[in-house]
Amino acid sequence: MPLRVLIVPDKFKGTLTAAAAAQAIADGWRRHRPKDALTLLPISDGGDGFGSVLAERLGAERRTVETVDAAHRPIAAHWWYEPHSGRALIESAAIIGLAQLPPGRFHPFDLDTTGLGTALRAAQETGAREVLMGIGGSATNDAGFGLARALGWQFFDEAGQPIERWSHLDQLHRWAPPESPFPLPITVAVDVDNPLLGPRGCSRVYGPQKGLRPENLPIADAALGRLAEFAAAAHGTHLDERPGAGAAGGLGFGLRLFLRATLESGFEIVARHTRLIEEIDQADLILTGEGSIDRQTFMGKGTGQIALLCQQRTKPCWGLAGVVEAPTSTEPSTALFQRLAAITPTLTQPAEAKADAARWLALLAEKLAAEPL
């Protein structure tokens, strides 16, 4: 009997976008079950692919802006605009993303979020009435310092000299906001709930993968800690302690502080705008996946959230991945996923899988389609 199959993967990081992963799964599935009705719905939790995933569902037009990447190198970056609603979509990873930079070439002290300011100005000048911004996948750890400066904020040390690098924010003595605040409401998609500072703060949890070394951490802590002190004095509340403040190297904190942005779960934003729950309710089987199904999958990541939604609706959910980490006894993988399947080491080895990820993912989907349902 033909099935209604919802194919709803996240990206396979470093190899396939969510859209490419969805297509590969569909191609493999059709080889064995050509009569099934397939719905492809790639997702994002706020990082790489956020803009394109939402743009396709919302009918937003792709626009280009001349700006700079995290290292201040000129780039032509994409953003998206839907004229009817006046909604602009901005994906930080496409502008200041870690994947935009050659590995190991730049130190995080030399990187900032300046390039996002130009994109926000472009959205404003186009006539946008609101902004949706996904901030996952950033290369930066500046708590929005570069973005703030790009939009007119000024920062001074005790001698009255401008502070031009975020790592010097420990010398912050005075700041001056722009005469005209940025006027558009901004909703920020975050995929983590870390605070700005402390053991779970951005510098210590995510900084190392961006290039922060142990000897750099006291400098980063002092710089962002001083900025947090100013924020607390100005607002009478500790924005740095709010969930998501540590997202994207503190950009979650910076967007709340400098632009009065609202932070939301990136998965929930995408789910709402793509009518994900309705699609799940209409499907007989849901196929989801990501590069690695592991502990983080069950800590709010998109793939795990899809499986949880399916469990709540008594819908079968199968997980496909490049690799599946063996679950511990306390992890709910067996309860959330009716089946889990991995490319490696079942079908091939990691190097071959990464070299032709779409082919191997299609083969994995074909193998699953051949199994009894």
Opening angle at CA 353, ends 307 and 291, nearest 5: 25
CATH number at residue 231: 3.90.1510.10
Secondary structure (H, E, C), the chain:
CCCEEEECCCCECCCECHHHHHHHHHHHHHHHCCCCEEEECCCCCCCCCHHHHHHHHHCCEEEEEEEECCCCCEEEEEEEEECCCCEEEEECHHHHEHHHCCCCCCCHHHCCCHHHHHHHHHHHHHCCCEEEEECCCECCCCCCHHHHHHCCCEEECCCCCECCCHHHHHHCCEEECCCCCCCCCEEEEECCCCCCCCCCCHHHHCHHHHCCCHHHHHHHHHHHHHHHHHHHHHHCCCHHHCCCCCHHHHHHHHHHHHHCCEEEEHHHHHHHHHCHHHHHHHCCEEEEEEEEECHHHHCCCHHHHHHHHHHHCCCCEEEEEEEECCCCCCCCHHHHCCEEEECCCCCCCHHHHHHCHHHHHHHHHHHHHCCCC
pLDDT at 333: 56
End-of-domain residue from the set 207, 241, 267: 267
Domain enclosing residue 255, as ranges: 50-267
Which amino acid belongs to residue 258? F
Do 317 and 226 fall within a single domain?
Answer: no
Percent above pLDDT 70 for the chain: 97
Give the N- to C-terminal CA distance of the chain in Å, as an integer.
10
pLDDT digits 0-9 by tens, 316-328: 999 999 999 866 5
Do 103 and 241 fall within a single domain?
Answer: yes
Percent above pLDDT 90 for the chain: 86
Do 175 and 69 fall within a single domain?
Answer: yes
pLDDT digits 0-9 by tens, 266-310: 989 999 989 999 999 999 999 999 999 987 787 667 899 999 999
pLDDT digits 0-9 by tens, 30-51: 999 999 999 999 998 888 889 9
The phi and psi torsions of 317 (rounded to 5 degrees) equal -130, 125
pLDDT at 48: 85
In the chain, the number of structural domains is 2
Sign of the dihedral defined by the CA atoms of residues 99, 101, 103, 106, in that order:
negative
Whether residue 273 lies inside any domain: the answer is: no
End-of-domain residue from the set 237, 267, 297: 267
Whether residue 242 lies inside any domain: the answer is: yes
Whether residue 279 lies inside any domain: the answer is: no
Opening angle at CA 359, ends 357 and 363, nearest 5: 115
Do 69 and 199 fall within a single domain?
Answer: yes
Do 288 and 355 fall within a single domain?
Answer: yes
Whether residue 106 lies inside any domain: the answer is: yes
End-of-domain residue from the set 242, 267, 292: 267
Do 141 and 262 fall within a single domain?
Answer: yes
Q: Pull the structure tokens for residue 200.
A: 């779970």
pLDDT of 192 strictly over 90: no
Cβ-based neighbour number of residue 233 at 10 Å? 8
Q: What is the CA radius of gyration of the chain?
A: 21
Do 337 and 203 fall within a single domain?
Answer: no
pLDDT digits 0-9 by tens, 63-114: 999 999 999 999 999 999 999 999 999 999 999 999 999 988 999 999 999 9
CATH number at residue 288: 3.40.50.10350
Do 329 and 214 fall within a single domain?
Answer: no
Do 249 and 117 fall within a single domain?
Answer: yes
Q: What is the pTM of this model?
A: 0.88
Do 344 and 215 fall within a single domain?
Answer: no
Do 33 and 69 fall within a single domain?
Answer: no
Whether residue 277 lies inside any domain: the answer is: no
